[in-house]
Every structure is written in C-alpha cells, then in structure tokens.
Amino acid sequence: MRAPNKRIHFRSVNSSVKNLEDNKVKVNIEVPEDVIDVAIDEAFKKISKEVKLPGFRQGKAPRKVLEAKFGKEYARSEALNDIVGEVYFQAVNEHELDVIAQPQLELIEGQESGPAVFEATVEVRPTLEIQGYKNLEIRVPSPHVTQEEIDESVNRLLEQASERNEVGRPATTGDFITMDLSGAINGEPEETLTAEGFVFEIGSSFIIEEINASLEGAEIGQEIEFGGPHPSEEDAELGFVAKILSVEEKTLPELTDELVAELSEFETVDLLVADTRERMEEMKRNQLPGQVTSKILEAISELVTEEIPEPLIQEQIQQQVQDMAMRMAQQGMQFEQFLQATNQSIEDIVANLREPSEQAVRTDLALRAVAVAESIEVTESDIENEIENVAKQYALQAAIQAEEIDYSLEMTSEEIDAQLSSRIKTEKENLTNSLQENGQIRILKADLLKQKALKLVEDSVKIEDEDGNEIDKEEIFVENTENAPELSQNGSNPDDPEPKEEESSESDD
C-alpha cells in the first residue's frame, strides 16, 4: 500500500466492517467507477511527466498516445494502487477503527473495469474487561517529614565542617580508607586502575560495587583482594589489591547557633531546622501527586491478565526508541554515538525497553477497559476545549518568540488570552484541520477518555503511607501552583539547607 501524499476525501466511497476472531476485522470498501476514472486521469498525467516520447515535450503527451503505448490497463493498475491507501484510511476513520497493525489488502473486484471492491483484514486494539479497579489500595511515601529526615539533611550541611580522625579499629561504613590500590583487567595489570594514597569512603560508589563489602573490617597494614565484572565490557573481569594505609572516621561538629550562622543563611539552629522542615514538606507535597498517579497506573495495569497483542508492544518500543533518539538530538548527540558510548546495540536497547513498554500497554488497555465499563464518554465540547488549550500554548510560544508579550508587565491569563485572541483563533483552526486530515481526532479522543477513566479510579482508590496510615486524597490532588518548588540549577538536593554565600574579599569598584 503506497503512502499517500495528501488526504483526499472520496465522498461516494462506501465501506462496511465485519468482526472476525482474534481481535481482527474485515473492512469492505466499494469504489465507484467514476472515482476510478478520475484516478486513471491522474495516473496518465503522472506517467506523462515520468516518460519521454518522440515528438512531445515531457509532460505534454496526450492521453490517447499514452494509452496506445502503455495500455489503459497499466494506468488503471497505477490508479488503483494510488487510491487504495486513501480509501482504506477513510474507512478506518469513518468507522473509528483502532487499528494496531498493517492491513492485508486484497482487490476483490474491478481489476480491469467497473467499480472496484477492496477487502482489508486488520488487527484492532482489543477491548478488555477487568475487575477490582474500584477497590484499589496503594502505598506511597509518607507526606510527613520525620525528625530523622531533618537530621540527615542538617548533617549534610554540617559535613562542610566535619573532621577526619585516624582510628585503630577495623573499618566500617562511613569511614575513610587511605590505600595503595593496584588494578588489573583479566589478570593483566592496568595503569589507569592503579593509584597511591587513594582515599575511599566505605559505602560510596566505585567502578565495582564489591569494594564496599571487601573493605568492611579492614585494618591498617592489611592487603585485601577483591574483584568483579567490568561495568561496560563483556567477558572482562576487574581485579584489585588494596594495601590499607590508614582508617579515619568522620566526626561532625556540634550543632550550635554560631556554626549555623557561619555555614548557612540562618542565625540560629531553630531557624535552620524550621526552614529545613518547611522545604522538605513542600517537596513531599509536590512529589506526592505524581507518586500516587504512578502507583495507581502500576496497580491498574496488574489487573490486565489477558495476553497482550505483540503489535502493541512493538509499537510502544518503537515510540520509546524514537523519543530517546529525539531527546539525544536535542542535546546534540546522535543515537549511534550514544550506542557506541554505552557499548550497546540497538537490539540491547529494544530488549531493555520491552518490559516497560509492555507495562505501558497494559496500563493503556486497563484505562480503556474502565472507560467502557463505566460508559465514560468524550463529548465534542471536551475535544474542542482540549484543542483550544493546546492552541493557546502554541500561540503563547509563538508570541514569546516574536516578543509580543511583555513579561515586565503583570498580566492575568485572561489579559494574555485577549491580547493573543487572533493568534489563538488561527492556531485552533490550523490544529483542528491538521487533526482531522490526519485522522488524529480519534487518538485525541482516546487520550481524553483515559484521562477521565484515571480520574474515576483516583476518586475511589485507598491511599496509605508506608506505615499503613490512610492519606486524605484532598491533600494530594488539590492544585497548588503558588507553592510549586523551584528547580535546582546546580544539581543539589532541594531539601538541603542553603549554604551561606562566601563574602567577597574584594570591594566593589
């Protein structure tokens, strides 16, 4: 089936659908002779542009001459090949078929003359029945901050003034080991893995994880051997010998008002602790809705017990790979470069994406099942509102690029909409036409349907923290944009106390 260059609506084409087994349907498409005649004319015009005939400029040969040379049968065959994709596409949208694979197309009648009849057998997305979605129970991290979490956050600030003191006892987690380290790959010494006076904190990360267990209980003067698989090279084994030179423990200073004033923007311990609690509570509040939604989707996907159609999984994997490649392109990296840098093949990527892709498909089918079971509907108003919302976003982005919006002025969303009304109207018309021409209204409708199904499940789910305490859903799903956390630009933890800025010793000129 040829990919059409543009969408043409054949108003006189009739189609019908018959359900088959194994989630398949048969689409019968009848194309009248006058439609085929128009397509034959177009086919001859195309042939005329592609061939050179003596006595005629390219593209100017009359149809009778072309018929005599190539035969009308050839042009008819070309015409039928040209229109089959369009009439199939039109039938799919007319009957709102959610196809998930390429169709098997067959020309039943009209090979030589008269009306044409096509039959398309294609697999569609299955409609499932699931049980238990009204009685879901999920557990998420507690939205309340514990004293232990506050202490851990404050201690990260105190570590700036921590001291290390040598001890004579065996090493334990958190201690710093100074060692002479020599490494080898498959038994062959490797200079890049060798270092004198190498300092390592037990419990932190290293090229192989085995180092932490091996250094537990280490003593000064001891030689310790450990090894493990190479993290990025297959069939490669790393081996290390560590000669322990010293063991030091980390000691945190006493938490005092003077130290807090020196290390942070706060003058007292109480102010530091209060701010730390407020920051962490705000972070947890903002994280909780996403955590709840993620747990709900995970739980509802587990209600799908039927075998998942392979085309759906493959489609999801392909989409994930395309998204990955697009993100890398935005960062200036080609997908092939990423594969080389990570020592992976495309087959490795596909294999790793299979499980999450299958999970995503199960979630999709589960939400659709809820929508069917609850007779959820998407109205024309729902679709129009969604298109308008997207159009507003497009219009705003275009206006920002064109510097039509002055953010130095305090403007309400209503004032911005009024200023961009013409842009919004144009974007809405363009978006609506594009969705209709490409048959994507059905996809938009399905997305809105799943959003409504998810909202229904959210309303009935029971949410508990890790200790079994029930959490009030009103605290989770209330929109609160005023307290949205600022994103860190330096990679620091948003719950860490802010360190005090170093005062410059140079005076301003």
Q: Are residues 71 and 181 in the same domain?
A: no
Q: What is the pLDDT of residue 480?
A: 41
The sheet with strand 24-31 has its strands ordered as: 14-19, 24-31, 116-123, 104-109
Q: Are residues 111 and 184 in the same domain?
A: no
Read off the pLDDT of each residue in 67-86 and give the average, rounded to a whole number. Answer: 83
Q: What is the pLDDT of residue 59?
A: 64
Higher pLDDT, 301 or 409: 301
Q: Are residues 235 and 362 in the same domain?
A: no
Q: Is residue 289 part of a domain?
A: no
Q: Is residue 262 part of a domain?
A: no
Q: Are residues 207 and 79 in the same domain?
A: no
Residue 78: give the domain boundaries. Answer: 14-123
Q: What is the pLDDT of residue 380?
A: 94
Letter for the amino acid at 509?
A: D
pLDDT at residue 351 tops 60: yes
Q: Is residue 450 part of a domain?
A: yes
Q: Are residues 209 and 314 in the same domain?
A: no
User: Which of residues 98, 123, 148 is at a domain's end?
Assistant: 123
Q: What is the pLDDT of residue 2?
A: 42
User: Which of residues 251, 267, 293 is at a domain's end?
Assistant: 251
Q: Is residue 426 part of a domain?
A: yes
**pLDDT per residue as tens digits for the range 407-449:** 666 777 787 778 788 888 999 999 999 998 888 898 999 999 9
Q: Are residues 230 and 319 in the same domain?
A: no
Q: Are residues 46 and 171 in the same domain?
A: no
Residue 235 and residue 187 in contact, taking contact as beta carbons nearer than 8 Å = no
For the ranges 39-43, 173-177, 266-270, the lowest mean pLDDT is seen at 39-43
pLDDT at residue 459 tops 60: yes
Q: Are residues 311 and 443 in the same domain?
A: yes
pLDDT at residue 153 tops 50: yes
Q: Are residues 108 and 191 in the same domain?
A: no
pLDDT at residue 21 tops 80: yes
pLDDT at residue 403 tops 80: no
**pLDDT per residue as tens digits for the range 99-118:** 999 999 999 999 888 999 99
Number of neighbouring beta carbons within 10 Å of residue 319: 13
Q: Are residues 318 and 442 in the same domain?
A: yes
DSSP letters along 317-379, please?
Answer: HHHHHHHHHHHHHHTT--HHHHHHHTT--HHHHHHHHHHHHHHHHHHHHHHHHHHHHTT----
Q: Is residue 81 part of a domain?
A: yes
Residues 288, 477: Cα–Cα separation, whole Å: 9
User: Which of residues 251, 280, 296 is at a domain's end?
Assistant: 251
Q: Are residues 225 and 316 in the same domain?
A: no
Q: Are residues 116 and 169 in the same domain?
A: no
pLDDT at residue 242 tops 90: yes
Instruction: Quickly state the pLDDT bin for 337 (edges 50, 70, 90).
Output: confident
HSE value, Cβ hemisphere, 13 Å, CA-based, for 63: 11
- What is the CATH number for 238? 3.10.50.30
Number of neighbouring beta carbons within 10 Å of residue 287: 15
Read off the pLDDT of each residue in 254-279 and give the average, rounded to a whole number. Answer: 94
Q: Is residue 486 part of a domain?
A: no
Q: What is the pLDDT of residue 355?
A: 94
Q: What is the pLDDT of residue 4?
A: 42
What is the overall mean pLDDT for the chain?
86
Could you tell me the CA-to-CA distances from 400 to 2, 202, 223, 421 in Å, in that order? 40, 51, 64, 14
Instruction: Quickly state the pLDDT bin for 79 (edges 50, 70, 90).
Output: confident
Copy the structure tokens of residue 35.
């439609």
Q: Is residue 37 part of a domain?
A: yes
Q: How many domains does the chain have?
A: 3
- What is the CATH number for 21? 3.30.70.1050
Q: Is residue 327 part of a domain?
A: yes
